Amino acid sequence: MAKWPAERETTVVPTPFGRTYVNVCGPAGAPPLVLLPGGGGATSASWYAQAAEWARIRRVYAVDLPGAPGRSEPAAGRHPRTAADLAHWLDALLDGLGVRETDLGAHSYGAWIATHYALHAPGRIRRLFLLDPTQVFAGYKAAYLLHALPMLLRPTPRRTRAFLLWEARGAQPDPDWLRLQEAATGFPSVKPVTGPRPAPEALRGLETPVLLLLAGNSGTHDPHEVAARAGELLPHARVEVVPDVSHHALPQSAPRDLGRRLSGFLSDSSD
């Protein structure tokens, strides 16, 4: 968190599924931007590389997911079990933050949640950006699941590191981020919500402007297959494949211009 802007604040928002921890930065009167991390040990901390730039134009709210590693505190005996529960959680979170309408950004598993939420409450989402979403437009590669299996069956810091280094395709991840993933291995968490991909007919009806950025070296799925599928389904989407970056390198080790491209999308008034 030392890599975040010095003026970062924190808040905790009560929801039906526990207390949600949020890192906040940017001018209090600026339009809001809510950020959801990927699954596993990503946490809200993973947005550090873009937080300062976005905080110049937005009030940034980076969220720790309920029941996942991080500082959110799940309610005893109650945690989200379905995509509808996660939508109910996000409704309560936005209400608690005093946010009626927001831009929403997310990576990986968080992008699955964000897409379902945009379909659930399109009137609350001004713009949506998705970074290499999983289980939205395509399933996982068999090789990805095979390499992840040892970590899923018996998670240890060493197995977590080995899996992430494999997916990095020879690139060197940020060592601080890698240590965070290792630390999250033993973090008490509940089983993450899984479910179907968003219905194609629902996606075709989504009028929210979408920026979809796919990792060109993603080990999770074929980015060109995902791009083609998304292009067919999303009527108001810009779809781009970002070369030379892997799935788990996002967002913290993304190319230098990623923050500027996303800032441009958030500021664009043409849609």
- First-to-last alpha carbon distance for the chain, in angstroms, is 34
| Claim: this prediction has a pTM higher than 0.85 | yes
Residues comprising the chain, all counted: 271
The answer to whether 72 and 94 have CB atoms below 8 angstroms apart is no
The CA distances from residue 199 to 98, 131, 135, 196, 249, in Å, are 30, 19, 11, 8, 28
H helices of 9-156, where?
Answer: 48-54, 83-97, 109-120, 142-153
Q: Digits of tens for pLDDT over the chain (271 positions)?
A: 999 999 999 999 999 999 999 999 999 999 999 999 999 889 999 999 999 999 999 999 999 999 899 999 988 888 899 999 999 999 999 999 999 999 999 999 999 999 999 999 999 999 999 999 999 999 999 999 999 999 988 989 999 999 999 999 888 899 999 999 999 987 877 788 988 999 999 999 999 999 999 999 999 999 999 999 999 999 889 999 999 999 999 998 888 778 788 888 988 765 4
Given the structure tokens 């939420």, which residue do they identify?
Answer: 117
C-alpha 240/C-alpha 87 separation (Å) is 27
